[in-house]
Structure 1
Amino acid sequence: MDHIKKSDPIPEILSDCIQNRIIDLKSELIDLRRDFHMYPELGFQEFRTAQKIEVYLQALGFETHRIAGTGVVALLDSGKPGAVLMLRSDMDALPVTEVSEKDYKSKNEGVMHACGHDSHMAMLLVAARVLKENKASLTGQIKFVFQPDEEVAGAIRLVEEGVLENPRVDGVMGIHIWSLIPSGRVSISPGVVMGGLDVFKVRVTGKGGHTGYPHEAIDPVIAASSIIQTVQTIQTREMDAQKPTIIMFGKIQAGKKANIIPEEVYMEGTIRFLHTFDPDSSDNPTQKFIRICEGICQAHQCTCEIEIEHENIPLVNDEKMVRLAKQTAAQVFGSPDIIESGKYIASEDFSEFSSRVPGVFIFLGCANKEKETQFPLHNSRFNIDEDVLTKGVELHVKGALEFLKEK
């Protein structure tokens, strides 16, 4: 990785030409984003989305191939020796019903691009176009990766199918639209920047009975309610305050009638942590969660079955890649003052790539109250300030040029 070092910036004439070209393509960029937004598809169901990406790239002269079913990969080879950079965009939407009066609102009922992946695809496609047009200024190779099913940890499928090989990737960059940051600003930080995510499923089993004769039954509802309350002490009593942890229950099912003590209670939720842990360590919040669940069930004469899915590991930014990204952002926005530090406990499976090769994940602000784009991710009213899209493309293009520059 010693080819990543502080160096002279991109020549001003090339930098200006790239910026002007991206501005020229702004209408195309917005049209792409809006088309993706109108036809959102869930993870591993991105059939129309993948086809549109392929058609666009093939029209530019790229050869494309599929990965993990609906994923799309294209390679730009400069014909000169050098490093290999992977630029990644996610593709999938969420099971959310959009609330919007926009002409380009979702046409697929109950499905919405509420996490900005429509923007990510549009930015990377236009970046691929601009980089191909500037092939003569490149060294090495750029791998454009459009990944399905980010919302449910689809990245590992791509890793298993060899996305980081043939050619072997030396570095990876990604951008996420972020409504926690005002438009015109970015967040780029070294170290852990997004949380790990474990998903739990707990089934508490007791002995059903009549609510008039509770002594004849073993009530799993009492045990489940005690679990819900007690595991919250993990965050405040068992974890270092410098290691943020959130335990949330998102689904609880029990019983069918008011006068029947149910046989079991079923619960689902998430454990998020903004730090790295050995999965089997007793210091891991998930292991603490399991201990409390089993202890409470034993105290209430119930049994429990616990299923843990380790969905995402924490996302760690490489220091050298961060330095490169900050240098690029200062060029793109004209000042280093737009760069914020930030850590976010939401999770992202980009971590599967950055845990294997040096990577950087950039958060591009899109919040603008005047344009009503300040709603949080995953909200039914989520939208973006489309004026920031050109900056995202420029970050991709100039970041790639910086990464691939000769020593």
Structure 2
Amino acid sequence: MKRLPLDIDYYKALRHELHRMPELGYKEHRTAERICGELEEYNIPYEKGIGGTGIVAWIDKGKPGSAIGLRADMDALPIEEETGLPYASKEKGVMHACGHDGHVTMLLAAAKLLKESVDFDGRVVLIFQPAEEGGAGAKAMIDDGLFERFPMDRIYGLHTRPSEPFGTFLIKEGPVMTSVDTWEVKIRGRSGHSSQPHRAVNPILVAAHLVQGIKEISATSIDPAKAHVVTVATIESGVAFNVIPDTCRIGGSVRAFDPEVQETVEQRIRELASSMAAGFGAEAEVDYEYRYPPTINTYTRSAYRSAASCVGPERIKSDFPSSMGSEDFSFYLQKVPGAYVWLGSKSDPEAETIPLHSSRYDFNDDLIEIGVCYWVGLVREELGKE
């Protein structure tokens, strides 16, 4: 890869600065101000407060024409950092455990390079998005008029992937991440003394049967060829060993690539909750929420060509299992063609892989230059004058 005309040490320091001041979704006020400060230094116009704390900047050059969007997520996670790094989080119980500090840094560095050193015709839209981690910040920005105020022909996202070899891009068309739905069942029984269960209706007993029933949905109601995950993740009830409680709550998530699977699981949870509760003389209330749709890449040619120009085609994987994780970048791809790709960060194949969302995770600073190369390459592929 050709060296870029950037002060990489400066951007590594910037990344460390962002890492020290993590903020949760829709609370990224200091992060947003720091981003705006950089954009002002580059003389790049922007608007802030889009979708809450989101920022949209733009670079116009050459003849008016096409526009592409480049997105970086800004938010951190509610995790107590245990890296021991000199630039570790200064916010108790909050850390950048998913690399968003690195994503912001790469897009800012690319913005400077695009503004000062790259010729193109059209517009580059820089999207600094809040609340990716469960807060649907992408949808919030769309609902706030993102695509009406800043029309785009295509949109791209980039995310680090610590399990893959350093500098390896994962790019393919079609589904790359699942949807995610959340569900909760509140079971109402009748409280009583634990020595007289016949005078009470124990909601925990109902929950125990319901958990088993929900876990059987995959085996009895879903085509085995359709990948999905139905998870029971929480159960809450009771205050003392000698009291049968009034209520019990159980909840979890559903991940799938096929909307039909989502609809089937929702229907079966509702049916099972209602019938099992009634069978024990209890009542059940179901709350099912469709959170993020599947992430489906619809245009990858430019992404592939840009990545190949940075690291070589031999370091691009196009045949890999789609992830059972989820991403709100999916909302953008429902509106505009584009691609979401991963960039491997594992420098030592013998070393332990510290996964995303771990209290010991840290972004690999050596990725910054590759990420900038990729962003700049996308602009050249989509809007280049040659």
**Does residue 1:188 correspond to 2:171, yes or no?**
yes
Does the 8 Å CA contact 1:72/1:145 hold for their aligned counterparts? yes
Amino acid at match of 1:330: A
Are positions 1:357 and 2:336 aligned together?
yes
- CA distance in 2 between counterparts of 1:324 and 1:85 reads 11
Contact 1:75 1:142 in 2 (8 A): yes
Residue in structure 2 matching 1:44, options 26, 50, 54:
26
Contact kept in structure 1, 2:24 and 2:77, CA below 8 Å = yes
Alignment of 1:376 onto 2:355: yes
Structure 2: runs of 5 or more not aligned: none
Q: Which deviates further from its counterpart, 326-335 or 110-119? A: 326-335
Opposite residue 243 of structure 2, the aligned amino acid is I
* Distance in 2 separating the partners of 1:219 and 1:392: 55
**Do the aligned partners of 2:174 and 2:297 also contact (CA within 8 Å) in 1?**
yes
Shift of 1:371: 9.4
Report the more deviating stretch, 374-383 or 92-101: 374-383
Aligned partner of 2:289 in structure 1 is 309
Indicate conservation of the 8 Å contact 2:171/2:316, yes or no: no
- Give the 3 Å change call, closer, same or farther, for CA 384–236 of structure 1 in structure 2: farther
1:212 corresponds to which residue? 195
Please state how far the C-alpha of 1:81 moved relative to its aligned partner.
2.2
Kept after mapping to 2: 8 A contact 1:366/1:374: no
Give 1:10's aligned residue. none
Q: Does residue 257 in structure 1 map to residue 240 in structure 2?
A: yes
Aligned residue identity for 1:48: R
Shift of 1:202: 1.6
- Percent of aligned pairs with the same residue? 33
**More moved, 48-57 vs 248-257:** 248-257
Q: Answer yes or no: is the 8 Å Cα contact 1:179–1:373 preserved in 2.
A: no
Q: Any gaps of 5 or more consecutive residues in structure 1?
A: 1-15
How far does residue 129 in structure 1 lie from its aligned partner after superposition?
0.7
Q: How does 1:89-104 map to 2 (within 5 A)?
A: 89-104=72-87
Cα deviation digits, residues 95-143 of structure 1 (max 9, x gap)? 11111111111110000111111111011100111111134x2111010
Matches for 1:63-142 after TM superposition, within 5 Å: 63-66=45-48, 67-135=50-118, 137-142=119-124
Q: Give the letter aligned to residue 187 of structure 1.
A: L
Task: Kindly provide the amino acid, as one letter, of the partner of residue 19 in structure 2.
Answer: H
User: 2:305 maps to what in 1?
Assistant: 327
Task: Determine if the alignment matches structure 1 residue 62 to structure 2 residue 44.
Answer: yes
Q: What is the TM-score of this pair, normalised by structure 2?
A: 0.94
Q: Distance in 2 between matches of 1:370 and 1:176?
A: 20
SS in 1 for 2:281: coil
Q: What one-letter code is carried by the residue in structure 1 that aligns with 2:353? A: Q
Provide the alpha-carbon RMSD of the alignment.
1.9
1:334 Cα offset (Å): 2.0
In terms of mean alpha carbon deviation, does 120-129 or 269-278 score higher?
269-278
Partner of 1:230: 213
Code of the residue aligned with 1:89 in structure 2: it is: A
1:29–1:340 CA distance, 2 compared to 1 (3 A): farther
Aligned: 1:199 with 2:182: yes
CA distance in 2, matches of 1:28, 1:373: 28
Using the TM superposition, give the Cα deviation of residue 228 of structure 1 relative to its aligned residue in structure 2, in angstroms. Answer: 1.5
Q: Deviations over 1:305-336 (max 9, x none)?
A: 11122110001101xx2122112111110233
**Residue 4 (structure 1) aligns with:** none
Q: CA deviation at 1:182?
A: 2.1
Amino acid at match of 2:106: M
Instruction: Give the match for residue 25 of structure 1.
Output: 7
Q: Is the 8 A contact 1:325 1:360 kept in 2?
A: yes
1:377, CA displacement in angstroms?
1.4
CA distance in 2, matches of 1:104, 1:96: 16
Give the Cα–Cα distance (whole angstroms) in 1 for the partners of residues 352 and 372 of structure 2.
19
Task: Provide the rounded CA distance (Å) in 2 between the counterparts of 1:232 and 1:155.
Answer: 31
Q: AA paired with 1:38? A: R
Which amino acid is the alignment partner of residue 131 of structure 2? D
Offset at residue 384 of structure 1 (A): 2.7
Contact 2:132–2:328 (Cα < 8 Å) also in 1? yes
Task: State the distance in 1 between where 2:266 and 2:355 align.
Answer: 27
Residue 323 of structure 2 aligns with which residue?
A: 344
Aligned residue for 1:144?
126
CA distance in 1, matches of 2:115, 2:352: 32
Q: Secondary structure at the match of 1:215?
A: helix
Q: Distance in 1 between matches of 2:164 and 2:325?
A: 14
CA 1:126–1:391 in structure 2 vs 1: closer, same or farther (change >3 Å)? same
**TM-score in terms of structure 1 length:** 0.90
The 2-side partners of 1:337 and 1:370 are apart by: 15
Q: Secondary structure at the match of 2:159?
A: strand
Question: In the aligned structure 1, how far is the partner of 2:349 from the partner of 2:185?
Answer: 44
Alpha-carbon distance in 2 for matches of 1:327, 1:276: 31
Checking the alignment, whether the CA contact within 8 Å between 1:198 and 1:286 is kept in structure 2 is no
1:397 to 373, 376, 379: 376
1:290 aligns with 2:270: yes
SS in 2 for 1:21: coil
**In the superposition, relative to structure 1, how do residues 90 and 256 fare at CA in structure 2: closer, same or farther (>3 Å)?**
same
